[in-house]
Amino acid sequence: MRREVPLLITAIVGITFVVSYFIPHFPFNRMDAWFADWFSIIAACAIVLGALNLIKLSAQKVLDRKEDWVYSLVIIFSFILITVIGFWEGRDYRDPGTAFDWLYNNMYNPLSATMFSILAFFVASASYRAFRARNFEATLLLIAAFLVMIGRVPVGDFFTSFMPEGYRFSDLANWIMDYPQTAGQRAIMIGIGLGVVSTSLRVILGIERAHIGSGE
């Protein structure tokens, strides 16, 4: 029953969604609103479970003195602090001037900016490995990436300022983004759409069972 019930619920909800898309009459035309309410409730419960799981794993790491347990202690302290302040300030906790707003602007935002700045170095490293001219296709990708990057900065047009309008680096970068890049992006989006449809059918029909914890 632990596997059959989730599969049955998934099949009923999936089939109902498909039917409601093609039948715009009561009660199918109200299904979107009803399911949206249920999704909000389930998402709220999932957030609570996720937060409790985070606290549990972090506390276990601190108690066992595992590697980098100090960071887990910071997570627990920060979670409790922001939660207490949020509840203490009530519904207006996000208004400017509140303690929650101060913590968000002076701690959370700088930490997020630091994280994305670090990610920029990883992206640069991945780009270096991806853009190496190992074959003809990789060489084309390298040339296109170089032209787009130099066309997106002012120095690109500075080097080609002697050329007429429409033939400068910025124009070439726009042409690459409008035509070759758009064609490739559409092909990828079509592939993603077909993948979503096939995966959805597998889940509705009970063929795909990884979401209930078993691939059998």
126-184 tens-digit pLDDT: 777 777 777 888 888 888 888 888 888 888 888 888 888 888 899 999 999 999 999 99
What CA–CA distance (Å, rounded) separates 28 from 51?
35
Helices (H) and strands (E) in the chain, counts: 9, 0
Can you say how many angstroms the Cα of residue 11 is from the centroid of all Cα atoms in its chain? 26
> What is the average pLDDT across 77-86?
90
> What is the average pLDDT across 40-53?
92
pLDDT at 145: 84
pLDDT at 214: 55
Average pLDDT, the chain: 86
- Output the six-digit token pair for 45: 């419960």
